[in-house]
Structure 1
């Protein structure tokens, strides 16, 4: 019985490590939470996100919906099929839908920082994002 439990623990650790190793972490991204409130089983989090020139959010999805406003810079947004689903300039507003079927990446291909104001509407206690592996695109 102990051997089976140990084998299960080892397999779980290996599986989790493989998932983590394949994730595409953000690069050149900083974020500051401006406010957070919880109501009706949802977390409402207002966050300022900055992507440095050449920065990327890494591939990820969200467990809730995000609403974003571009304050400065130009954000290039790609879907998991590698297509560009938006190029957002200052004053642009966009929405990122919830769920693993909405894997995406945001990239700053410009020379100036991208600054976003983002409202996360997440299930209470959910992470801000869930890292995902690159779906096979030639870029990060």
Structure 2
């Protein structure tokens, strides 16, 4: 019997919704997300596009191939495209909290993220 793949939950992450509006069938949600040192978002993907700005710390971002596809320091921005083929994880490998301002542009009513199993990477 094959092993069941399980989602990898976030750890050391907190978030506050700053604004939310639905326009033209899209949800626009602005959140402040904090990742504590050693924390991670868990493996996931988005149904819509995510736009992020790093206010504090450095976020290490990895894709489904286990490659680090971005290291984002304070003052930088990045985009996470949508879809189940875009599974990724964000991790705080530093010693200070990472603080992000994140704008989600999602189909109305969809979740902010969809949990995904670890694709076989040695970290979570």
One of 44, 48, 59 as aligned partner of 2:32: 48
**Higher helix fraction (1 or 2):** 1
**Structure 1: unaligned runs, 5 residues or longer:** 1-17
Other-structure match for 1:36: 20
| 1:23-60 deviations in Å (ceiling 9; x for gaps) | 00000000000000000000000000000000000000
| 1:91-111 deviations in Å (ceiling 9; x for gaps) | 010000000010000000000
| 1:57-92 deviations in Å (ceiling 9; x for gaps) | 000000000000000000000000000000000001
Question: Which one scores higher on RCO, CA 8 angstroms, separation ≥ 6?
Answer: 2
CA RMSD of aligned residues (A): 0.8
- Report how many aligned residue pairs link the two structures: 121
Query: What are the equivalent positions in structure 2 for 1:110-125 lying under 5 Å apart?
Result: 110-125=94-109
**Higher strand fraction (1 or 2):** 2
**Structure 2: unaligned runs, 5 residues or longer:** none
